[in-house]
Structure 1
Amino acid sequence: MRITKLMNVVILCDGNPPRPEQLKEALKHSSLFIAADGGAFIAKSMGVEPEIIIGDLDSYSKTGKEQASVIHDPDQETNDLEKALAYAFKKEGKNVVVFGATGKRLDHTLKNLSVLKQFNHQFETLVFKDKYSVVFLLPKNFETELPLQTTVSLFPLSGKVEGVTTTGLKYAMSNGTLENGIQDGSSNLTTEKKIEIVHKKGDLLIFINHKTDR
């Protein structure tokens, strides 16, 4: 299999699975589909086939019948998501969507958020998606348009984020500080279609929540 320069990559991990339509819609716009170890089983259950299965293979066992290329990387200093992202970077991926990086074990979710920070600078965009939220690290100056009454949460991934100013949110901040254990920015609401978020120092994570009861 020959993979040349590509732009859009979808990675499926072994956490809580996305809705099948979420995954299939993302795959319509992707150039490469990577399953991180046990994510291959989720792909199979949804009737889709990855091009690459990569990991330490403690969850997935090679059958020899795969259409995918199976890459066994036994390195215990990196988790399966790190392995998948490193592969995507090596193949010149630019925009990466990761499903299944959250849910199940909380320690795995926290580790994957750390991996998000680790690899964020290597791609033009790196986004986690699940049934409930779209999650990514914010640039220092960020603006977007969202439906009114969309739930938006901000989380100081670096522990403390300074100089936070928001517009278009119900609970506004002006040059404020978010710090774990002191003040967080969870469960805010959009009051305008256009929102703007600025921060001066630290790593600020945003959760944009879907309106879903599933």
Structure 2
Amino acid sequence: MPWSRQGACRGWWRCDQDHQVQGRAGQEISQTCLECHNSSQEHNNFLRGEHGRNDVACIDCHSLHSADLSRPKMLAKSEPQLCITCHSEMKVDFTRPFRHRVMEGAIKCSDCHNPHGGFDQKQLRASNGTDVACLKCHIDKQGPFVFEHAPLKTEGCTICHIPHGANNPKMLRRDRVFQLCIECHSNVGTVGGPNTPSFHNLNSARYQNCTTCHVKIHGSNTQRFFFR
């Protein structure tokens, strides 16, 4: 919505008519804000999002009258300090050896999550199976591919990776690659009789790093086994 002096005065007058917010429900307070902030997709789902449904009000994050003008969007604090005020359990993940550098300021919480709501439980900026939030940075993993890796297509990046931080390289959910792969890929041959052992002998170090051979694990345009 473009700024105008007349619009600004009308907006402040509307807020001032019900200036006493003490004791009012978060959704009631936010509804006043949404009377003006309603023209973008960013805000359209606020009341049905996790914050709105849990009575987090706009003024819990935005400081209307005493905001530091060096912070954008009249935030009460800068990210990520503002977010970890409530989501304190996330701070531990950002201290792990392999992590997204949120605390260092290289990436913000709102780059991946829409704080104003959405249809996803974690308010991600994309639903499972598309992972637009991840692909904004990891563009080399973006398909479509001729040969898709089905879990990536249907369940998303987080089926293999822990998004905030992990103790394992590449933020993998398991400390050894083959342990992650055999959650879906049984160590049983695809030819021969029932329970025929695969030639992948997982007791051998030769076969314990699947990506030594299956290098294009996110998808390939040339080889259905992701060899290249």
TM-score of the superposed pair, with normalisation by structure 2: 0.27
User: Where is the helix percentage greater, Structure 1 or Structure 2?
Assistant: 2
User: Where is the strand percentage greater, Structure 1 or Structure 2?
Assistant: 1
TM-score of the superposed pair, with normalisation by structure 1: 0.29
Say which structure, 1 or 2, has more relative contact order (CA 8 Å, 6+ apart): 1
